[in-house]
Every structure is written in C-alpha cells, then in structure tokens.
Amino acid sequence: MRHGGIYEEEVAGKAYDGALLRRFVRYVRPYRSAIAAVLLILPLVAACRLAQPWIIKLAIDNHIVSGHMAGLETIALAFLGILLLESLLSFVEVYLLQSVGQRVMADMRSELYRHVLHLPVTWFDRVPVGSAVTRLTSDVEVLGEMFASGIITIVGDILLLIGIISVMLWMNLKLSLVTFSVLPILIYVAYTFRRRMRQSFREVRARLGNLNAFLNECISGISIIQIFNRERDEERRFSQLNASYRDANMPVIFWDASLYALVEALSSIAVALIIWYGGGEIAREALTFGVLVAFIQYIEKFFSPIRDLSAKYSVMQGAMAALERIFALLDTKTSEQLAVLNEQTPHEQEPAEEFSPAANTPLIEFQDVSFSYQGGNEILTSFSLSVARGERIALVGESGGGKTTITRLLTRLYEIERGSIRIAGRDIRELPLEDVRRRVGVVLQDPCLFAGSIEFNICLGDEQARQRVRQAAAAVGADRFIERLPHGYEEEVRERGNNFSAGEKQLISFARAVAFDPQILVLDEATASIDSASEQMIQEGIRGMMQGRTSLVIAHRLSTIRDADRIITIHHGIKAEEGTHQQLMEAGGIYFRLHQLQFNGM
C-alpha cells in the first residue's frame, strides 16, 4: 500500500478568494430570496445592537445621575423590547442561513456525484477512492460550516462596525480617536496571519484525503489483512497518517488561538484607554458618565464581531481550501468532454441507429491500433482485427499482453493513441459515447453487485432493461437459483453480493448483460474465479448469453474457448497467431505451448 505525504495535486496552485467565491455564488443564486431576506434583517439587527448602549447612556445621564426617576420604566421597557426584537430577528437570520446552507450543500454534492460518475477511468487510476469521497463529503461539509458560522452575517458585522464607529465619532471625537488607536495593530495582525492560515488549511484538507484513502483501502481488504496477520502493521500505518493529520491541524489551532487572543488583548487595551482618557475628561467635566459607559459598551460590541470574524476567518480559510479542491474536481474533463476532444469529425456525429452499413461490413474493426497507459511502454502495437456479425472471437495470451486493453478501448474507457476502431463501419470517435457503450455489454472477472434487489442488479434501474429481467435470467440459467430464493427477484443483495456464491454472482452479471440487449458481448476472464462445481452452470449461462451475438471472449482457461470461431493469440501487444483451436494446435506455436502448459501441468 502506497501512502506518501500530501498528494501534490491536492495543494498545488494559487488561491484567489474572489474567483472562488464568484464561482460559488452560482450555487447560492437559486436561494437569493432567502438571502435577500437575511440582508434586509441584518441592518435591523445592527440597529438593535447600536440602540442598546445609547439607551443605557440616556438612562444614566437623564435619570440615574440626575435623580429624575420618572420615565426610567419606559426606558427599561424600551431596552427589553429591543433585546426581544434582536433575539427574534437573529433566530430568523440563523434559520434562513443554515437552511440555505443545507440546500447549497445538497446541490453541490449532487453535481459532484454526477460529475464523478462521468469522469474517465484514467482519473480513478490516479486518484485514491478515499480522496474522492473526501471531496463529496468532508469538503462539502466545510461549506455548511461556512454558512452555519454566518458568511452572510459578515455583512451585518461590517454594518455594525461602521455604525459603532459613526456613533462613537459623533458622541466624542477625541475619545474615539484614542479608542481606535489599536486598530492599525489589529489590521496588521489579521493580514500577517492570512497567508499562513490558508496554507495550513490546504494541508489539513489534503491529509484528510490521505487518511480517508487509506481507510477505504484497508476496510476493502480487511480479509487479506487478517489472513496474513497484518493488523499491527496496518495500525502502525494508520497511526502515521492519523498523526500526520493531527500535526497538520496544529498550526491551524495555533494561528486561530493566537488571533483570538490578540483580538481579546487589543479589546482590553481599548477599554483601558477609554477608562484612562475618559476618566480624566469626566474629572474636567468635559464628558458625562453616561457617555463613558456607552463607549465601553460600544467598544465591547465593536470587538465582539471582530472576535467572531477571527473565528469566521478560520472557517472561511477552510472553506476556500475546500472550494479549491471541489472546483479542481469539477474542472476535470468528463469522458464525454474528452470524447469530443478526441473525435475526428465531431460535426458529423449522429446516433448509431441512423447509420445503415453494408451487409458485409465487419461489425468490429481494429485498424493499426497502438496504445500505452499514461505515457508508459506500449501495451498494443499496430493491432488489427476484423470481427463479422455473430462471430465468436477468443483472445488468449500471457497476463499483461494487452487482451483487456482491447476491450477497454472498444468501450472507450480509454482513448486510442494511434489507429482507429470501427463499429459497423463507423469510427467510434464519430459516434456518441452513449451509443458506443449501449452496443457493447461487458462481463468482468469479478462481478460487481450493488446493494438492492436482484432485479435492480440486473436492470440497474433502466426501465427497458427491467422489462427483460426475467427473460434475461432465463437465457443464462440464473432463473433456476433466483426462483428458489424466498423473495425471488426481490431478494436483497448485500454489500458486494456477499450473500451469494461466486457462480451465482456471475450469473446475475450475465443476466445484466443480456437484459441490456447489446450487439457485442465482451467476456473478460468471466470464468477465471469460478470453481469447477460452478463451471458447468456458468458455461451454460455463457452459451445462452452469446446466442445470436457477436462475442469477444478473454480467457485463461483454454477449455472454455475451444468452440470459438477464431482464436487470437496476443503476445507483447501484437497479434501473434489467428485460427481455430485445431489449426493453432497443429501450428505448434504460442497457443500450442499455452495449451500444453495448462493441461499437461495439471
């Protein structure tokens, strides 16, 4: 298992907050009415908070200090009413913001999932599953925290700060200037911390992706870990990644705590300056006691949103790091987009059904196809093959020789580098990707079943395929074991189909391929993991599945492809031999040696 440090692509690139937020606005726009309501509420909340110290000043100067108690009850009731109004408005504000946050998160998760479903296989070859899951879960959740902490309320905080500054300057200019003498220090501190906190948050998100990738791999392979007694070794690996994630959080905690402490200290210094200067002004009778109390109240309200802003700043930095990763994923081109880029004549693209080839046109045709994975050594070199309609072709050869690559190129999971592949006379790069894959049904060595019913696993939710579920199951012989189950086709399939045998899972995957009624059938080592007791059942299923279809069969068990119309031997990415079983045995070449090794070695 490879688990290096932070994946380079996770933290690379500059961050432009404005650009990220402008892209993010698209997801908020559908809920602009709720946001507009919040923006209308914010000035009212700020006004309620600004009024409270002013009412206290009036009570002290006009009633308490002078001893005129008449009317004090009215001021007290007014103060209580403003507090209640502020509480009600704050409730509505928080409720609207958090509900919008949940809806935005749901929309982003849906778009991300939809995008991931269409990403090319090459992306999944490069990015660990856990890292992808992190982007759809934890990274999106951080955006919810951004709403919960009140990204929109920053507007309210700014309004409150402007209001406080204005009122304090109007009440007493000199005392205001003394109070605001600490602001340059505050601005400098916030600017200094910005870059360091941003980089720390990037590393936190990246290392969380590493941790999730490891957990996904470990849990998926838990049986191997236990069989080979590797629990302690995996604990050590997890401890290293867990410690790495913990250590990445430490700078975030340090800068966050430092910023909060400095804001608190500056707030206390500002209050001390007010008391020092204001006390002297009161002694000279240049300032009333009510104004001094109001200033202290205002300065506490002034630094309260700044303290909140320090916490919100931390959340915003985490959100920016998350948005970088989310948008990097959304900017990754999907298979369809890459297909358009690779089309030779995209303007001529039309559905495959509208094209009627000549009767003698090969259904499948590989013409001088060459391919390599991610710039490595060539897997296929100038490979050519024509397959007639209804023909059964077997591909054999050593592991890694390029057999599976042929089927991957046929279904456009990967794009060819040189040469062409044609279906019914049309270059597959000229056909819509969906049409190409609708024509080809694939059965893999390890059948993939999903949680749900057997019926769902055969039709995968496709309504046309659903109508053919029982017919398809009968064609491959899967109906015999399905109908014996307590719930028949509605029998629950547990995670990865663990409640079925390997043979039963493979028969379900055979039925799935038939239910989608493809013209071309690809069997990629479909019997490799089947025990001898199940092999006869599987062979019957294969015969039913291949009936009337053009078939490409990749097999290590040479006994399963004796009846193929042609057998192609692939050696080091080159078509080395071609013929029937009997012809290749008589030739005494590579196929003959493979046959001898397999049967004489048994």
Each residue of 249-269: pLDDT tens digit? 888 788 777 777 887 888 888
The C-alpha atoms of residue 473 and residue 511 are separated, in whole angstroms, by: 5
Strands (E), 478-600: 492-493, 520-524, 550-554, 566-571, 574-579
pLDDT at position 449: 84
Contact between 590 and 576 (Cβ < 8 Å) = yes
- Is pLDDT of 84 > 90? yes
Highest mean pLDDT among 33-37, 270-274, 592-596: 33-37
> What is the biggest distance separating any 2 CA atoms in the chain, rounded to whole angstroms?
121
**Which residue in 557, 558, 560 sits closest to 546, CA to CA?**
560
Distance (Å, rounded) from C-alpha 527 to C-alpha 532? 10
Which band of pLDDT confidence, cut at 50, 70 and 90, is reported for residue 128? confident
pLDDT of residue 362: 86
Specify the residue for token string 């693209």: 349
Structure tokens at 412: 């456009």
Name residue 522's amino acid.
V
Average pLDDT for residues 111-125, to the nearest whole number? 85
pLDDT band, residue 6 (cuts 50/70/90): very low
Q: Which range, of 22-36, 104-118, 244-258, averages the lowest pLDDT?
A: 244-258
Q: How far apart are CA 295 and CA 274, in angstroms?
A: 7
Q: For residue 369, give the nearest of 407, 416, 415 by alpha carbon.
A: 416
Supply the pLDDT for residue 80: 92
Average pLDDT of the segment spanning 102-110: 90
Residue of higher predicted confidence among 154 and 46: 46
Residues 502 and 452: beta-carbon distance below 8 Å: no
pLDDT at 328: 85
Check pLDDT > 70 for residue 596.
yes
What gap in Å lies between CA 239 and CA 242, rounded to an integer? 5
- Stated length of the chain: 602
Q: Going from the N-terminus, what domains does the chain have, and what CATH number goes with each?
A: 15-332 (1.20.1560.10), 346-600 (3.40.50.300)
> In whole angstroms, what is the distance from residue 313 CA to residue 410 CA?
51
At 569 the three-state DSSP class reads strand
Buried residues in 492-531 as b, exposed as e (16+ CB within 10 A)? ebeeebeebeebbbbbbbbbbbbbbebbbbbbbbbbeebe
At 11-26, the pLDDT tens digits run: 433 334 677 888 888 8
pLDDT tens-place string over residues 195-204: 667 677 777 8
- 264 versus 245: which is more confidently predicted? 245
For residue 2, the model assigns a pLDDT of: 42
Confidence of residue 537 (pLDDT cuts 50, 70, 90): low
* 184, 67 Cβ separation under 8 angstroms: no
Most confident of 49-53, 125-129, 183-187, 312-316: 49-53
* Paired sense of beta strands 566-571 and 392-397, if any: parallel
The tens digit of pLDDT for each residue in 477-516 reads 888 888 898 989 998 988 777 888 888 888 888 888 888 8
- Position 253 scores a pLDDT of 82
Return d(Cα 134, Cα 214) in angstroms, integer.
12
**What SS3 string covers 389-452?**
CCCEEEEEECCCCCHHHHHHHHCCCCCCCEEEEEECCEEHHHCCHHHHHHHEEEECCCCCCCCE
pLDDT single digits (tens) 386-438: 999 889 999 988 877 888 888 888 988 888 888 999 998 889 888 888 888 88
* Residue 415, pLDDT score: 85
Per-residue pLDDT, 532 = 58
When mean pLDDT is compared over 67-71, 203-207, 316-320, 440-444, the highest value belongs to 440-444
Q: In whole angstroms, what is the distance from residue 265 CA to residue 148 CA?
A: 27
At 93, the pLDDT band (50, 70, 90 cuts) reads: confident
**In this structure, what is the dihedral angle of CA atoms 134, 139, 141, 145, given to the nearest 10 degrees?**
150
Q: Two tokens at 544?
A: 């039913």
Average pLDDT, the chain: 80
CA distance 363 to 424: 4
Q: Is the pLDDT of residue 206 over 60?
A: yes
SS (H, E, C) 147-209: HHCCCCHHHHHHHHHHHHHHHHHHHCHHHHHHHHHHHHHHHHHHHHHHHHHHHHHHHHHHHHH
